[in-house]
Chains A and B, each alone.
Chain A
Amino acid sequence: MSKETLPGTPLSSEEFEKSITIEEHPNLEYSWDDGIAISRYLKELKEGRIIARTCCGCNRTMLPPRMFCELCYRPTDEWAFVEDTGVVNTFCVTRVNWDASRRGPDEPPLIPAVVEIDGASKGMGILHLLGEVDPKKVKIGMRVKAVWKPKAQREGKITDIKYFKPY
């Protein structure tokens, strides 16, 4: 195997642009169902509360809630409200949007985090964002609390929590 004999024809950046002869913009739209467990989760978010499911097989309080326990492989048992406070398990400070485009110079970076919610079992974290905090001052282990949208603006979505802030 040598560089000279290996197949594969790299294109230059110029050819890269020129070589696009067909562009497709598929306009696929999906309507996802929110399911048995998550529909209740969303309904409670609209009320400004976070709800979990318990499994008496492994004694876990699971967040996000689910109707089956993947450890015990049995139905979960009960609904249980948990706190809207928690601990930062990990975080990052990002300038990248979902499509790899960069946030503008005037846009503050986003601070995605895994937040372990109080009342859920240890390690039961959810993905959310941090706010009202200098990115340089965020620490793993920091205590945070949900900042909710005003009740009238809540839609039953994960974004009904605007972000979590230190408290």
Chain B
Amino acid sequence: MGYRKVACVGAGITKFVRRAKETGRELAWEAAKMALDNAGMTLADIDCVVIGSAPDAFDGVHMKGEYLADGSGGFCKPVMRHFVGGGTGVFSPIHGWQHIASGKFETCLVVTEEKMSSCFPAPAGAFLTIFDHTTEQPLGPTLIWIFALEMNRYMQRYGLTEADIAKVSVQNKLNAIDHPAAQLGAKITVKDVLNSEVLAWPVKRLDISPASDGAAAIVLTSEHKARRITDKPVWVSGVGWCLDTAYWATRDLYYPQYVEKAARMAYEMAGIREPDKEIHIAEPYDPFDYKMLHHMEGLLLCKRGEAARLVADGVTARNGRLPCCPSGGALGVGNPIAATGLMKIIELFLQLRGEAGKRQVPGDPRIGVAQAWGDLMQVGTVVVMSR
């Protein structure tokens, strides 16, 4: 293959909170500086900067990439901002990987930020304009509608109950208690989820991740740089991404084909043939509890329709055979969209280095996969990391 090996050598993250006093660029600065410090580097060591942030409509700042650039270390340097909705956070390391794998740069600072609290009365309102302006917006849709449509279709297809799915929320919020950045770590029960406010049946309040403010950053370098910086580089060993059409109602929502395509691309690059056996740890995107199951299936970590059973059997718990969302995920740590995806990448970075503290999964994990998803039930972004 004609590209160079790329390593992650440092990570930084802010707390994920309902509303932060810091501005978006202050949050970006905090996370980016922390990532540099963690790698033992300064901004002078950085060749280029990539910035991931979801719709400008959340922050209410147009040209958010430009706004965030100096806080992100992108002062008088090559800077690029990317955006694929909720898939942005895991696309960020892919974007950084492209810069280094191509041979153009040796080091890249990857920064993600979201400040959703600025949007009133609720950031959900910013989603109206993602629907087709002529054929869908007049019906008054909101994002929760299509999650509810997708969840119902998924449940019906495999005969799952709301309780089967609630177990994901219980697991991830429990895991998040041990995450220092977490917004919603908590010990809750399936009953709590089932009894929480019904927003759009079958979706209830505790099926959903919160809106959050937060930032996360990593440092990527070429192989020879990485060897000088650390004796514990974590390799970006597979990348994949795939975008389906915005005609979301014309594909069957029970299975995310586009996630599978992205996963196959990443696995092929990483030399993974049997993901369900070869992957030790997974961070599928979980903005809603059923989405973790949906994505485990799209990532080929289990057969279609089987993910809920794995959760019920404890297979996906931190001490299970295939820990999923040991960080606590979007459901527990919080969901500042772009920063959430990179939080998952940072979780793999820490877990594969054995530095995840109380969250450390047993068994000396060597290979992990992180995934994000977004746009109109449309994009899959997948990164395989290994050491």
Contact = CB atoms under 8 A, between A and B. Distances in A.
B195 to A, nearest CB: 15
Contacts of A92: 145, 148-149, 151-152, 200-203
Contacts of A29: none
Contacts, number: 175
Contact of A89 (B27, B124, B139, B252): B252
27 contacts: A1-B350, A3-B180, A6-B181, A7-B30, A8-B22, A8-B30, A8-B213, A10-B17, A10-B21, A11-B18, A34-B134, A35-B134, A90-B253, A92-B151, A92-B152, A96-B200, A97-B142, A98-B124, A98-B141, A99-B142, A100-B142, A101-B121, A101-B122, A126-B135, A127-B135, A158-B134, A158-B138
A31 to B, nearest CB: 10
Given A7-B15, A98-B125, A140-B156, A112 B136 contact: no
Contact of A124 (B144, B202, B250): B250
Interface in A52-104: 62-64, 66, 70, 89-101
A157 B138 CA distance: 8
A9 interface: yes
A149 interface: no
A142 to B, nearest CB: 12
A158 B311 CA distance: 41
Contacts of A15: 21
B366 interface: no
A8 B121 contact: no
Contact of B250 (A42, A63, A98, A157): A63
Interface string A9-33: 1110001100100011000001010
B34 interface: yes
A79 to B, nearest CB: 17
Contacts of A94: 142, 144-145, 148, 199-201
Given A41-B135, A94-B144, A6 B15 contact: yes
Interface residues of B, number: 61
Interface in A90-147: 90-101, 109-110, 112-114, 123-129, 135, 140
Dominant secondary structure at the B interface: mixed
A90 B153 contact: yes
B13 interface: yes
Interface of A: 1-3, 6-11, 15-16, 19, 23-24, 30, 32, 34-35, 38, 41-42, 62-64, 66, 70, 89-101, 109-110, 112-114, 123-129, 135, 140, 157-159
A1 B152 contact: no
Interface string B8-50: 0000011111111110000100110010000000000000000
Interface centre among B17, B180, B201 (most CB of A within 10 A): B201
Interface in B158-176: none
Nearest to B250: A124
A38 B141 contact: no
A56 B138 CA distance: 31
Contacts of B196: none
Nearest to B31: A7
B20 A1 contact: no
A91 B149 contact: yes
A16 B17 CA distance: 12
A140 B153 contact: yes
Contacts of B16: 8
